[in-house]
Amino acid sequence: MTILDTPPSPTPARLLDTNGVGRLLDALREGGYEVIGPTVRDRAIVYDTIGNVADLPAGWTDRQDAGQYRLERRDDHALFGYAVGPHSWKRYLQPPATTLWRARRTDDSFEVETVADEAPSRFAFVGVRACELHAMRIQDRVLDGDQEPDPVYHARRNDAFIVAVNCAQAGGTCFCVSMETGPGADGGFDICLTELVEPDRHVFVAVSGSVRGQEMLDVTEPATAGPDDVRKAEAVVERTAASMGRSLDTRGIHDLLLSNPEHPRWDDVAARCLTCANCTMVCPTCFCTSVDDLTDVSGQVAERVRRWDSCFTMEHSYLHGGSVRASARSRYRQWLTHKLATWLDQFGTSGCVGCGRCITWCPVGIDLTEEVRAIRDTQPTGTRSGGSDGRT
């Protein structure tokens, strides 16, 4: 939690063209950052190491719906003219697999030695969306709190340089407006860009959110943005906000879900859910991990690897004798009630940022906004108004 608490700088907005974005990428790399950004691979827009502007998904967009993701050509050359893909920044901040330590047998005992994190010294994330900035703030509360911050997350997060992009179009499964996490970035970035694609020009309105952001922006020799440019940038965000693909009524959602643990809708969704864990893998806030304790073939060297885990697996709740959550019904209920209800008790925030990934990447198109709506609309009489303590 460092730059996130830095209020946006009052310095005037700047104007970059596509070459200016290229100079920004160069400056970041020359500044010692490993630049990670959007690029097209496997017919999706994913996050990976970026060399130059040509690696960005110019002229591509995505069409998303429940269980559907399709890349499509745009009729312009927008660099950031898509919503979000299957990757989130958590794959860099909380890597899918991390070797934590190694142990070696000695004559009559063993010794444990720590393993250095293999991350590059510093990441620069380019193209971070407002919902993703909020997802990082949420993961900060989980993994970088006051008590025992995770050193892997902490180092990667603290050093990361963030270039945010305000969303110029909403995806078909987006509902950040409902979650109050977008579509405009409201802090937590070093630089924030708004892309303006016009018939006669293609520019980016840039503001800095930190001193280092300002310095990095200056290196790109930007022009000064006029009041008209700033107004157009604001209009982009307003237009996006008005075209969300989904919505979620969050009123009383904590009590609504916790007071309905036996709602028949859980059986209904369980009949469709494959418990494949896709939703938790693409979710930018899902933080569950497990560990694998392994040995080499000689049995002399052991190591512990921490890896992403999911509450949709049977192993997640395994106790001697069996899994606590043996049914699909109970595992979906755990995921949804944690994400939207008990997360509030634990971390003072919802676990959902409305990015829509869990809807898009669900192989059977389960839509959490629809599941919540179904529960809200068909509550047993007497509990519809909520107002209980939420634990009933």
Partner 1 sequence: MNIGHFMTPDVSRVAGTRRETRDTWTLRLEPPRNAAAWSYRPGQFNMLYAFGIGEVPISISGQVAGDGTLLHTVRAVGRVSAALTRLRKGESVGVRGPFGTPWPMDLAVGRDVIVAAGGLGLAPVRPVVRTLLEQRGKFGRVVLLFGARSPAEIVFRREVERWGRRRDAEVLVTVDHASPDWAGHVGVVTTLVKKAAFDPGNTVAMLCGPEVMMRFMVAALRSSAVPDDAMFLSMERNMKCAIGQCGHCQFGADFVCRDGPVLRYDRVRDRLSVREL
Which residues sit at the interface with partner 1, rule CB under 8 A? 98, 100-101, 103, 105, 108-112, 114-117, 119, 142-143, 147-148, 150-152, 155, 258, 261-262, 287-291, 293-295, 299, 302, 304, 306, 309, 311, 315-321, 324-327, 329-330, 334, 338, 342, 345-346, 391-392
CB 315 to partner 1: min, Å: 8
Complex with partner 1: residue 103 or 230, whichever CB lies closer: 103
Helix axes 328-337 and 368-377, enclosed angle (nearest 10): 90
Complex with partner 1: residue 218 or 267, whichever CB lies closer: 267
Q: Sign of dihedral through CA atoms 311, 315, 319, 322? A: positive
CB 90 to partner 1: min, Å: 13
User: Which of 333, 338, 339, 277 has the alpha carbon at shortest distance from 309?
Assistant: 277
Complex with partner 1: residue 5 or 148, whichever CB lies closer: 148
CB 135 to partner 1: min, Å: 16
- For residue 262, give the 3-state DSSP assignment: coil
CA distance 275 to 181: 27
- For residue 75, give the 3-state DSSP assignment: coil
Q: Which residues lie closer than 8 Å to 300 by C-beta, 6 or more apart?
A: 104, 105
Complex with partner 1: residue 97 or 112, whichever CB lies closer: 112
- For residue 159, give the 3-state DSSP assignment: helix
CB 156 to partner 1: min, Å: 9
CA distance 130 to 4: 12
CB 118 to partner 1: min, Å: 9
Residue type at position 157: R
Distances in Å between the alpha carbon of 86 and those of 93, 273, 282, 350, 378? Answer: 16, 19, 6, 21, 32
Complex with partner 1: residue 201 or 320, whichever CB lies closer: 320
Complex with partner 1: residue 52 or 114, whichever CB lies closer: 114
CB 279 to partner 1: min, Å: 14
